[in-house]
Amino acid sequence: MMSRSALLWLSRREGLKDFATRFAPFRKLTTRFVAGETIDQAVSFIRQLNAENCTASFDHLNEAVASEAEAEREVQEYLDILRQITETRIRSNVSIKLTQFGLGLDPELAYRNARRVVAEAHARGNFVRVDMEDSAVTQLTIDIFKRLRAEFDLNDVGIVLQSYLYRTYADAEELVKLPARIRICKGAYNEPPEVAFPDKKDVDANYVRVMQLLLSSGYYHGIATHDPKMIDATLDFVSRAGIGKDKFEFQMLYGIRRDLQLQLARDGFNLRVYVPYGKHWYPYFMRRLAERPANVWFVLKNVLKG
C-alpha cells in the first residue's frame, strides 16, 4: 500500500500534475473530493448544503502561483465569489491560501492581495479564512494574518492552526489574545519530526488541548475534523464547560463523512463544509488520498474501469 508520505511527495510533482489534469478518467474521479470546475457548480452544491442546514466555505483551488498575473486572477476570482455569495444569498464564507496570492513570489504582494479580498468581505459582511499551508510559510502566514487582523474586525478574517506542529499551542495562546477566530485542524502536509509530532496519538492529544483552549476563550472558532474521537472530545468538553451549540462550529471537507456532517447538523450543531472547486485540483486531491491511503484503491479501480 502506498504510504502517506509517498502520496504527499507525489502531490508536489509538477509533471504528474500536468499528466493527471489532462487524463480524462483521472479528472472524472476528482468529483469524489471536488465540487466542480466553476463557481456556478459550487454555488448549486452550496444551495443544497444550506437546505440541509449546513453552511459552506468556498475554496478556489490553486496554490503556489508562478506569476503576479496568476495571483491577480485569483484575487479577481475571489472578488467574484464574494459578489455571487451576496447575489445568490447562499450562506457561505471563503477560504484563501496565501501562496495562491503570491506568497512564494513576494510576501508583500500576498499581503496586498489578501487585503483586497478581506476589504471586499468586510464591505459585504462576509468572512475570509486564511488556510494554513506547509511549515515553510507558517510564520509568514501568521505575520500577514496579524496585519490583516489589526486593520479589520474579528468577524472579517480568521486563520487556521495545525495540531501536528509543536509550535501550535503557543500560537493559539498568542492569537486568541488578539482576539482571533481560529480553525483548528490536524494538518495535511508532509512535515519533518523537527517541527511536527511524528505520532498520530500526539497529534490527536495536541488537537484536544488546542480545542479546549479555543473553546474556553469565548470567541467563535472552527473545529475542523472528521475524526469521531475529536468530535466526541469536543462534545464532551462543551457539555462539561456549559458552552452552547451556537458558540462554535464543526467543519468538514466536501465529500468526506457526509453521514457525520448531516448527523451533527440534525443534532443542532453548526456545521460548515469546505467546498473546493476549480481546475487546479491535483495537490488538494493528492492530500486527500494521503489522509486515507485506502482511497488509492478506489482511484485505481475507477481509472482501470475507464
**Interaction with ligand FAD in 231-290: which residues (CB under 6 A)?**
251-253, 256-257, 274, 288
Note whether 181 binds ligand FAD by CB under 6 A: no
Residue 255 beta carbon to ligand FAD: minimum distance, rounded to whole angstroms: 8
**If you count DSSP H runs as helices and E runs as strands, how many of each does the chain have, helices first?**
13, 8
Q: 22 or 133, CB closer to ligand FAD?
A: 133
Residue 41 beta carbon to ligand FAD: minimum distance, rounded to whole angstroms: 19
Q: 18 or 31, CB closer to ligand FAD?
A: 31
Q: Going residue by residue from 117 to 156, which x/- string records binding to ligand FAD, judged by CB under 6 A?
A: --------------xx------------------------
Could you tell me which residues come within 8 angstroms of residue 27 by beta carbon, excluding any fewer than 6 positions away?
Answer: 20, 21
262-289 burial code (b ≥16 CB/10 A, e <16): eebbeeebbbbbbbbbbebbbbbbbbbb
Binding residue count for ligand FAD, defined by CB under 6 A: 24
Integer-rounded Cα Rg, in Å, for the chain is 18
Omega before 25 within 30 of 0, i.e. cis: no
Residue 107 beta carbon to ligand FAD: minimum distance, rounded to whole angstroms: 18
Note whether 100 binds ligand FAD by CB under 6 A: no
Note whether 98 binds ligand FAD by CB under 6 A: no
Q: Which helix (H) or strand (E) holds 145?
A: helix 138-151
183 is catalytic: yes
Among candidate residues 295, 277, 242, the one with its CA nearest the CA of residue 58: 277
Q: Candidates 13-21, 103-111, 220-228, 278-286 — which segment interacts with ligand FAD by CB under 6 A?
A: 220-228
Reduced to 3 states, what is the DSSP secondary structure of residue 102? coil
- Number of neighbouring beta carbons within 10 Å of residue 194: 7
Could you tell me which residues come within 8 angstroms of residue 72 by beta carbon, excluding any fewer than 6 positions away?
Answer: 113
Q: Going residue by residue from 60 to 79, which x/- string records binding to ligand FAD, judged by CB under 6 A?
A: --------------------
Among 145, 189, 220, 248, binds ligand FAD (CB under 6 A): 189
Which residue has 498575473 as its cell numbers? 69
Q: Give me the active site residues, please.
A: 131, 183
Q: Which residues bind ligand FAD (CB under 6 A)?
A: 131-132, 160, 162, 185-189, 224-227, 230, 251-253, 256-257, 274, 288, 291-292, 295
